[in-house]
Amino acid sequence: MNAFVEPATMPGSGVTKGEVLLSVANVSLAFGGVKAITDISFDIRKGEIRAIIGPNGAGKTSMLNVINGFYHPQEGTITWRGKARRKMKPYEAASQGIARTFQNVALFKGMTTLDNIMTGRGLAMKKNFLWQCLHWGPALKEEIVHRHRVEEIIDFLEIQAIRKTPVGRLPYGLQKRVELARALAMEPELLLLDEPMAGMNLEEKEDMSRFILDVNQQFGTTIALIEHDMGVVMDLSDRVVVLDYGRKIADGIPEEVQKNQDVIDAYLGVPHEE
Amino acid sequence: MLYREAGQFKTTYDADQAIFPIAQDRWAVIAFAAIAFLVVPFFVNDYWTNAVLLPLLIYGLAALGLNILVGYCGQISLGTGGFMAVGAFASYKLMTSFPELNIAIVVLLSGGATALVGVMFGLPSLRIKGFYLAVATLAAQFFLVWLFNKVGWFYNYSATGQISVPERSIFGLVVTGPTAAPWVKYLFCLSFLALFGLIAKNVVRGRIGRNWMAIRDMDIAAELIGVRPLQTKLSAFAFSSFYVGMAGSLLFTIYLGAIEVTEVFGINVSFLVLFMVIIGGLGSILGSFLGATFLVLMPIFLKNFMVDGLGLLPVLAKHVEILLMGLLIMGFLIVEPHGLARMWQILKEKFRLWPFPY
Ligand SMILES: Nc1ncnc2c1ncn2[C@@H]1O[C@H](COP(=O)(O)OP(=O)(O)OP(=O)(O)O)[C@@H](O)[C@H]1O
Ligand SMILES: [Mg+2]
């Protein structure tokens, strides 16, 4: 489905389309006694939409938290752009081009849609404190340059009308969209989406699916997507990794995964042999 | 239909980004500033300056500073009194050690010194939040007051422990000490408030202000989009303490002239400024001024009304006043937690629709 896209290389990244952008190898994560992730390995290739699926509590969100540096796995290595990554803070992962949205909307409630998205541009803005005090000259120019970028994203996601609305007042579906906008404002190389369509009606889901595909195809952004709706997963993703009780039980193209007996059992709740 | 933005189309993001995007607001602010700078100085006398204008300007500056920290960055502080004391004592040491130093520079440097101290006491904010941070800043309050009371070096070993301001002039006009003219003091403080009010407004609508608010609203999400928590929180502590320190400096040098630290910068000042911020409106520059105005004027009104109007004994009136203030604050928190600034906004929205109810 990505057949029409010309091989894109994000500026500065050095990873070309189809190559491995991020890989996790033998990663395990435990919270005290609770094992959230056990010995999981998979990779994400540049330019693909990689779905991560699994029943509730399978460890999907924990996996994303590991990828963007929010949790630190006890074991395993993470390789980003071909280099093994040391333990890093979330803001460092962000500055290396990893953005995400959250399962439960995590917008800045007291700020307008515009300010939420502008915050996503923060890493790209360089003018120092003294210029900020003046809000004039180079600082104003910078602000306007980034405002233009943000307006492009606003147009892209069709949220012009709610620009100046405090996000706390928006309906849930729109909040999810603003959250996507904020992540896109970072111009990430890898975009992690944690259940972007949860709690949406059919129409909203269709819109969101279209946006995700457009982001992937127009900007060449690599996407890791957690989603429970199997229809959506089959339609959108290039490859799927399936987790269950913190372990990987399947990995491959959607058609294969759908037929896999372990996956069917996991979703039907067949008890474990052990 | 007097207050509307209809017909005012913005054709550039530049115009949309302007400080007061609606023309009526812009003119109102300019007119207000013109009156404050050009008209009021001709009418001020000793009573008005000392009872109303100076406290209003100085506490306005302190409330502005605290609002940056609490309202914009979401970090609570009960150390305002202590930080104001830092500003005051920094001014005293600077003025007595470097008599040549211009008084405006003294005020700025005092703000700078307070910013450093603020950052030091802001360090725990990376690990602790909310109530626990409040307790940590409360410790700062008591420690600082104790320090300035105990260590003789800060008050140049004067026998009483009091500090009093040497006479200083600016542009040939005496501005500190008993011989300073009321209008000079007023204009000096007004200039600081206007300049730094403008700067605060600029900072909060740019990158740094957005980062503060991001940390306030959802610190985890903020970090995941690249906001550095420690740096951002400390910058808010520094910026806020700078303002609070200048307010302390002005309170000592311009307004009171002579102070004793436990009397002037106690915990009640910390609460007073915090109430100004809450009543005025958290996260609003205008709200800081409204809150300061309200809490400076209210006691005067109440006193005039009860003593002169109802003929109550001054002591009794004082007690009733404290009681009423407490009730007012509670009422505010219940009825309009977003403060006077929000009420003003609602009023403006009503005005836009007027004469239609919706
Ligand atoms: N911070 C934490 N502390 C303790 N346990 C945690 C923490 N985060 C996750 N867990 C546990 O790890 C396991 C995996 O959780 P995770 O949120 O990753 O699942 P998920 O696949 O995202 O599920 P869902 O589909 O419900 O979102 C669960 O058992 C959960 O209780
Ligand atoms: Mg989850």
Q: Measuring CA to CA, which residue among A212, A214, A183, A208 is closest to residue A102?
A: A183
**Can you tell me the mean pLDDT for B257-277?**
92
Q: Does a structural domain hold residue A113?
A: yes
Closest-CA residue in chain A for B235? A129
Domain range spanning residue A119?
A: 20-273
Q: Are A24 and A66 in contact (CB under 8 A)?
A: yes
Q: Is the CB of A181 under 6 A from ligand 1?
A: no
pLDDT exceeds cutoff 50 at A9: no
Query: Which residues pair with residue A117 across a beta bridge?
Result: none
Q: Which ligand is nearest to the CA of A53?
A: 1
Q: Is the CB of A65 under 6 A from ligand 1?
A: no
Q: Measuring CA to CA, which residue among A65, A99, A61, A92 is closest to residue A182?
A: A99
pLDDT at A10: 44
For chain A, give the percent of residues with pLDDT over 90: 65
Q: Is the CB of A36 under 6 A from ligand 1?
A: yes
Q: In this complex, which of A115, A127, A148 lies closest to B210 when CB atoms are compared?
A: A115
Phi, psi of A166 (to 5 degrees): -60, 130
Query: How many domains would you assign to chain A?
Result: 1
Phi, psi of A76 (to 5 degrees): 100, 165
pLDDT exceeds cutoff 70 at B356: no
Q: Is the CB of A37 under 6 A from ligand 1?
A: no
Q: Which amino acid residue places its CA nearest to atom 23 of ligand 1? A: A57
Q: Measuring CA to CA, which residue among A120, A143, A114, A102 is closest to residue A226?
A: A102
CB–CB contact B207 A127 (8 Å): yes
pLDDT at B330: 84
Q: Does a structural domain hold residue B115?
A: yes
Atom of ligand 1 nearest to the CA of A31: 4
* A68 interaction partners in chain B (CB closer than 8 Å): 224
Six-digit token string for A78:
């993470």
State how far the Cα of B214 lies from the Cα of A242, in Å rounded to an integer.
Answer: 34
pLDDT exceeds cutoff 50 at A80: yes
Place of tokens 């211009």: B102
**Can you tell me the mean pLDDT for A79-90?**
90
Q: Which amino acid residue places its CA nearest to atom 28 of ligand 1? A: A57
* B227 interaction partners in chain A (CB closer than 8 Å): 91, 119, 122
Q: Does a structural domain hold residue A11?
A: no
Q: Does a structural domain hold residue B70?
A: yes
Q: How many CB pairs under 8 A join A and B?
A: 103
pLDDT in tens, A196-243: 998 888 999 999 999 999 999 999 999 999 998 888 898 999 999 999
**Can you tell me the mean pLDDT for A13-19?**
80
* B207 interaction partners in chain A (CB closer than 8 Å): 122, 125, 127, 132, 143
Q: Are A218 and A10 in contact (CB under 8 A)?
A: no
Q: Would you place residue B2 in the very low, low, confident or very high pLDDT band (cuts 50, 70, 90)? A: low
Six-digit token string for B308:
């002169």
**Can you tell me the mean pLDDT for B232-256?**
96
CB–CB contact A100 B17 (8 Å): no
β-pairing, A75-80 with A83-84?
antiparallel
Q: Does a structural domain hold residue A9?
A: no
Q: Which amino acid is at A74?
A: Q
β-pairing, A83-84 with B163-164?
unpaired
CB–CB contact A119 B222 (8 Å): yes
Domain range spanning residue B156?
A: 44-265
Mean of per-residue pLDDT scores for chain A? 88
pLDDT at A199: 85
CB–CB contact B218 A109 (8 Å): yes
Q: Which helix (H) or strand (E) holds A182?
A: helix A172-185
pLDDT at B144: 96
Look at the pTM and tell me if it is higher than 0.95.
no
pLDDT exceeds cutoff 50 at A274: no
State how far the Cα of A250 lies from the Cα of A228, in Å rounded to an integer.
Answer: 16
Atom of ligand 1 nearest to the CA of A103: 27
β-pairing, A34-45 with A222-226?
unpaired
Six-digit token string for B151:
């260590």
β-pairing, A49-53 with A239-244?
parallel
Q: Would you place residue B202 in the very low, low, confident or very high pLDDT band (cuts 50, 70, 90)? A: very high
Q: In this complex, which of A68, A122, A186 lies closest to B211 when CB atoms are compared?
A: A122
The overall longest dimension of chain B from CA atoms, in Å, is: 68
Q: In this complex, which of A100, A122, A144 lies closest to B17 when CB atoms are compared?
A: A144
State how far the Cα of B334 lies from the Cα of B347, in Å rounded to an integer.
Answer: 19
Mutate-to-test residue for ligand 1 from A24, A27, A34, highest number of ligand atoms within 8 A of CB: A34
The CB density around residue A159, as the number of other CB atoms within 10 Å, is 20
Beta-carbon contacts of B286 under 8 Å, excluding residues fewer than 6 positions away, are B280, B341, B344
Q: Is the CB of A13 under 6 A from ligand 1?
A: no
Six-digit token string for A119:
């915050």
**Can you tell me the mean pLDDT for A72-78?**
94
Query: Which residues pair with residue A40 across a beta bridge?
Result: A27
Q: Would you place residue B221 in the very low, low, confident or very high pLDDT band (cuts 50, 70, 90)? A: very high
Highest mean pLDDT among A9-13, A245-249, A266-270: A245-249
Q: In this complex, which of B203, B210, B228 lies closest to A133 when CB atoms are compared?
A: B203
pLDDT at B241: 97
Q: Would you place residue B46 in the very low, low, confident or very high pLDDT band (cuts 50, 70, 90)? A: confident
Q: Is the CB of A58 under 6 A from ligand 1?
A: yes
How many Å lie between the centroid of ligand 2 and the Cα of residue A15? 29
pLDDT exceeds cutoff 90 at B118: yes
pLDDT at A4: 35
Mutate-to-test residue for ligand 1 from A60, A193, A194, A243, highest number of ligand atoms within 8 A of CB: A60
Q: Does a structural domain hold residue B179?
A: yes
pLDDT exceeds cutoff 90 at A259: no
pLDDT exceeds cutoff 50 at A3: no
Q: Measuring CA to CA, which residue among A249, A268, A19, A194 is closest to residue A241?
A: A249
pLDDT exceeds cutoff 70 at A1: no
Highest mean pLDDT among A122-131, A197-206, B107-116: B107-116
pLDDT exceeds cutoff 50 at B265: yes
pLDDT in tens, B164-193: 888 888 898 888 888 888 999 999 999 999
Q: Does a structural domain hold residue B65?
A: yes
The CB density around residue B124, as the number of other CB atoms within 10 Å, is 17
Q: Does a structural domain hold residue B278?
A: no
Q: Is the CB of A62 under 6 A from ligand 1?
A: yes
Q: Does a structural domain hold residue A124?
A: yes
Q: Would you place residue B10 in the very low, low, confident or very high pLDDT band (cuts 50, 70, 90)? A: low
**Can you tell me the mean pLDDT for A103-115?**
93
pLDDT at A60: 95
Q: Measuring CA to CA, which residue among B255, B348, B336 is closest to residue B53?
A: B255
Q: Please, which residues have CB less than 5 A from ligand 2, an ion?
A: A 61, 103
pLDDT at B120: 93
Q: What is the CATH number of the domain that holds A100?
A: 3.40.50.300
Place of tokens 């602010």: B29
pLDDT exceeds cutoff 60 at B92: yes
Beta-carbon contacts of A222 under 8 Å, excluding residues fewer than 6 positions away, are A21, A44, A45, A46, A47, A48, A49, A50, A189, A190, A191, A216
Q: Does a structural domain hold residue A158?
A: yes
Query: How many domains would you assign to chain B?
Result: 1
CB–CB contact A91 B220 (8 Å): no
pLDDT in tens, B284-342: 999 999 999 999 998 888 888 888 777 778 888 888 888 888 888 888 878 877 788 88
Q: Would you place residue A78 in the very low, low, confident or very high pLDDT band (cuts 50, 70, 90)? A: very high
Greater confidence (B282 vs B126) lies with B282
